[in-house]
Chain A
């Protein structure tokens, strides 16, 4: 407010609020932990978002994140570890959605029912909470407060779990996501992979909420892969690009938001969206001209 009311330079003031790089070096040292957390979250988000896209789950991610928010705000109210609260909400939601919504139609209606309920609970817990209001807002829209060491250990531990789980089920999960009937015929335990993936997704969502907030989780757990899939269909390249896009968005967001008083989320979501736009343009060009060359080339120069 004080900046805005400064005489004669209201526009400059707004920009200064958004981008402020004074004392950048010192600030950078302070957010050392946040950047590590950002890289790890980016890797997890980038990897898992390829499956979110293949399994048509973006809406489920949103639903899970609202219940994760409810869990986190309950934890805040009860003064227990917020990460544990958000993990609990997240996994409960993921399992419910996974169990009740194997078909896309059922799934969407269940998410539609669960999501407002979760948000409502969250609002209730936050209104009862008498602590710092920055904590409340942070759960929804993200926070730049330096990640402290215990919080970082939680993030790293959970992320390692998600990564290991994903790497283990990578091939059968890809198979089951692209052709469940055939995968089942080949002996893939399709019925087990689905809940297993939902748990991993729940964990990843709960982690992402710590950085970007419940409302904006999709920018790390959907947009990166959606963008990557626009420019390539080679699975390894799509995965690699998705991870790069996610890490770029989160770390870029943290670095840009450092000096400002604005939460981290608009920076992350804007970078993420910009990457998507560029990929869409490239993809459009490619579908007009590029794929015909892929068809003519009989062998070779595959990105593998």
Chain B
């Protein structure tokens, strides 16, 4: 089914290896026979209709959801809850204005927020936090309350939080949602820089391919219990998507943008609509 054989690894295990994975909730089959190996430094975008199991896939990788069949390995070890090998950037959510955390504290949670006890300040910890804030360009507001930062700034800090434990795999769940186009650009560029500099593999769930288009190595497209894996050209074309959705879907490539039309209304992501109108004009 998958249009590309899983990469043969040389020495290092893949950052993420999913093999013959199936997930079923009662009668509902989300996907089956899913195999995907993400190599260090690779950028894989996960696209798909609403309810196609993108979020469930993330939960499987995070060890929060068991597969019906198949295996998931993170850096050569079976996926388990709370793995230090995964940095996770959840969907953007407004942080309450009076949350008693500064940007540096939010990043600190990425180091030891899950540990018991109160924790004492260590100089090493502080340096670690400031180094990563500097890398994502957020050191200028390290001491700002997170609740007072803009959406784009908060997302930078969240990426620093996900990266501070030096994970081999960065998992992003719609990190661009409700960000303005400029912030979308800086956030994706930031993620891209990281994978080139440190070889962090990236799995990026998004409903909107265009902001990540310049960086994506491969696409995993989930729809209607099926999936396709391959390069952007291999997956995002009229034939493949029409096949997946079992209805005519038109994919138009306009210079550096991809516009998709004809995805059944009920399966569309809420964000899709507005984009399509803009795309059509």
Interface residues, chain A, with chain B CB atoms under 8 Å away: 50, 53-54, 167-172, 174-175, 178-179, 181-188, 228-230, 232-235, 238, 287, 291, 294-299, 302, 304
The reply to whether A170 and B118 form a contact with Cβ atoms under 8 Å apart is: yes
The reply to whether A188 and B114 form a contact with Cβ atoms under 8 Å apart is: yes
The reply to whether A172 and B101 form a contact with Cβ atoms under 8 Å apart is: no
B182 within 8 A of A: no
CB within 8 Å of A: which B103-132 residues: 104-106, 109-110, 112-119, 121, 126, 130
B28 within 8 A of A: no
CB contacts (< 8 Å) of B90 on chain A: these are 179, 181-182, 185
CB contacts (< 8 Å) of B116 on chain A: these are 168-169, 171-172
Minimum C-beta distance from B49 to chain A (A)? 22
Name the segment of B18-26, B136-144, B249-257 touching the other chain.
B136-144
Q: How far is the CA of A294 from the CA of B145 in the complex (A)?
A: 9
Minimum C-beta distance from B273 to chain A (A)? 26
- From B83, B113, B140, give the contact of A188 (CB < 8 A): B113
The reply to whether B119 and A171 form a contact with Cβ atoms under 8 Å apart is: yes
Minimum C-beta distance from A251 to chain B (A)? 24
Q: How far is the CA of A229 from the CA of B62 in the complex (A)?
A: 33
B270 within 8 A of A: no
B148 within 8 A of A: yes
Count how many pairs of residues, one from A and one from B, have CB atoms less than 8 Å apart in the complex: 114
Given contacts A233-B148, A294-B141, 9 further A-B pairs with CB under 8 A are A171-B117, A178-B109, A183-B113, A185-B86, A186-B113, A188-B114, A233-B144, A233-B146, A299-B139
Q: How far is the CA of A238 from the CA of B64 in the complex (A)?
A: 33
25 A-B residue pairs with CB within 8 Å: A168-B117, A171-B117, A171-B119, A172-B114, A178-B95, A178-B101, A178-B109, A179-B90, A181-B90, A182-B88, A182-B90, A183-B109, A185-B62, A185-B82, A186-B113, A233-B98, A234-B105, A235-B100, A235-B101, A291-B145, A294-B144, A298-B139, A299-B130, A302-B142, A304-B121
CB contacts (< 8 Å) of B115 on chain A: these are 171-172
Given contacts A172-B114, A187-B81, contact A302 B141 (CB under 8 A): no
Given contacts A172-B115, A174-B109, contact A291 B102 (CB under 8 A): no
Q: How far is the CA of A287 from the CA of B99 in the complex (A)?
A: 14
CB contacts (< 8 Å) of B262 on chain A: these are none
Minimum C-beta distance from B8 to chain A (A)? 30
CB contacts (< 8 Å) of A296 on chain B: these are 140
B51 within 8 A of A: no
The reply to whether B113 and A302 form a contact with Cβ atoms under 8 Å apart is: no
CB within 8 Å of A: which B61-98 residues: 62, 64, 81-83, 86, 88, 90, 93, 95, 98
Minimum C-beta distance from B182 to chain A (A)? 19
Chain A CB count within 10 A is highest, among B88, B90, B109, for B109
Given contacts A295-B144, A299-B139, contact A186 B88 (CB under 8 A): yes
- From A175, A179, A230, A291, give the contact of B148 (CB < 8 A): A291
B147 within 8 A of A: yes
Considering only CB atoms, which chain B residue lies closest to A229 in the complex? Answer: B98
- From B100, B104, B105, B114, give the contact of A229 (CB < 8 A): B100
The reply to whether A238 and B117 form a contact with Cβ atoms under 8 Å apart is: no
Minimum C-beta distance from A232 to chain B (A)? 7
Minimum C-beta distance from B157 to chain A (A)? 12
The reply to whether A185 and B88 form a contact with Cβ atoms under 8 Å apart is: yes
The reply to whether B99 and A233 form a contact with Cβ atoms under 8 Å apart is: yes
CB contacts (< 8 Å) of A179 on chain B: these are 90, 93, 109
Q: How far is the CA of A291 from the CA of B146 in the complex (A)?
A: 11
The reply to whether A186 and B114 form a contact with Cβ atoms under 8 Å apart is: yes
What are the 8 closest A-B residue pairs judged by CB atoms, nearest first? A187-B82, A233-B145, A175-B113, A238-B100, A170-B118, A186-B114, A294-B143, A229-B98
CB contacts (< 8 Å) of A187 on chain B: these are 81-83, 114
The reply to whether B88 and A230 form a contact with Cβ atoms under 8 Å apart is: no
The reply to whether A171 and B100 form a contact with Cβ atoms under 8 Å apart is: no
Considering only CB atoms, which chain A residue lies closest to B102 in the complex? Answer: A233
